[in-house]
Amino acid sequence: MKKLHIILLLTTLILCLSCDDAEKACNPPLGTISATVVEASDLPANTIALQGSVHTGFEGVWKILEGNGGSFVNANMPQTNFSGLPGVFYILRWELTGCDVFYKDVSVTIGCENFQANAGADQQTTNTTITLNGNLPTGTTALWTIVSGNNGQLTNPTQGNATFAGVAGNTYTLRWTLTNACGQTSFDEVTIQINPNVNLSNRYIQTLVDELPSGTYQYNDAGQMTMANTVINGNTFIINYVYTNGKLSTDGFTNYFYTNEGILERAEGTTGTNKRFYFFENGRLARIEYRNNANVTIDKDEYEYTADGYILRLFRDQNFTTPTLIRTVTFFTEYTDKVSPPMDHLISSPNYYLPWKFIKTSVSTGSFVADLSYTYTFDALGRMQTGTSTNNLTNTSSVTTYVY
């Protein structure tokens, strides 16, 4: 049975407006006129059940003397339901008309039912504009406020689906507060973490299989690396990447040149070395030739793909100019997300962007005995979290952790 919490104030005003002694015999006996709130099950929200007394020779009607927004199911029936607004004080009258008019008033404040604010689930996103999802029970007013976080802004903060705008790289706590007509409040908080719009599909990786060296990196809004501050073998290197029309033009050590179609054609080092790039007709990278100052190929990379366009093997031939030619083969053995082909074309970087997430590779040399393997983990946004390099011959490994 649904219980309603109500405040009742019964006022009995029995009044004979124009009766003389001869007419009093038709009056209802004193004390028998009643107007009460009774318990009833399965009532709609903000509704009470009323019961007025019945007297022979009299017709009754329910009236609202005070309070707005209320209504009766049937005002002419002694037993009826009344619906009102939460927290509003009403005076209701059961009025009997016969030889004269008699009435009884009942005052009631519709009870405010239990309610709980719900600000929605915590969010982690790269979007700087987010639609919020607060609940809004009937009879309540609400307000979004920013508890913590810098430079956030709310639009339509009294709506559950208000819009919040924040700044990438910040975490915000927002509070959703509900207030009912009785003055009771309830609040809930939601955390919004806005990450930079950089994911694995446009993050610069130094090579296809090697982890980024230890250091810090900066990116532009397109996710292209603009600065690398790295430490390699105890030496610090700061590299600044410059882009023209969305394509990498120079990093200070190498200049990059493209075909009219925007495909990377060659990379020329400031010391005279250069790289030449060759592609299959379908746009996938086929071969890279590394040339010395005399424009002689000394190293070469060749790529082999699966039928659906994912890299299967990378063949790296080194020391072309010496009898000790070394061939290294990298096997891309497992993928965790095949959303897009990994090498449809090169995208304006000296090495490669990786529009796919492989989780395991292995490397073999010379006699094709695997001696190195690489495994990778990613966060929910597809960003690389760790890269582990394992030497299977010595059973040793090293782990690179990426922080964003």
Enumerate the domain spans of the chain.
7-109, 123-194, 204-401
Phi, psi of 26 (to 5 degrees): -90, -5
Among 199, 130, 195, residue whose Cα is nearest residue 169: 195
End-to-end CA distance of the chain, in Å? 55
More confident residue, 187 or 351: 187
Going from the C-alpha of 107 to that of each of 6, 52, 56, 181, 273, the distances in angstroms are 10, 14, 26, 17, 94
Please, which residues have CB within 8 angstroms of residue 78's CB and are 6 or more apart in sequence? 51, 52, 53, 54, 60, 94
pLDDT for 203 beyond 80: no
Same fold, 7-109 and 123-194: yes
Number of Cα atoms under 13 Å in the Cβ half of residue 342: 26
CATH topology classification for 123-194:
Immunoglobulin-like (2.60.40)
β-sheet bridge partners, residue 231? 236
- 354 near 225, Cβ under 8 Å? no
- List the CATH code of the domain at 204-401: 2.40.160.190
- List the CATH code of the domain at 7-109: 2.60.40
Q: Which helix (H) or strand (E) holds 140?
A: strand 140-148
pLDDT for 99 beyond 70: yes
Torsion (CA) 303, 306, 310, 313 in degrees, nearest 10: -40
Question: Which of 32-36, 225-229, 304-308, 347-351 has the weakest average pLDDT?
Answer: 347-351
Report residue 108's pLDDT band, with 50, 70 and 90 as the boundaries.
confident
Q: What average pLDDT does the segment 201-229 reach?
A: 57
DSSP 203: -
The overall pTM is greater than 0.75? no
What is d(CA 335, CA 141) in angstroms, rounded to the nearest whole number? 50
- 361 near 330, Cβ under 8 Å? yes
**Average pLDDT of the chain to the nearest whole number:** 75
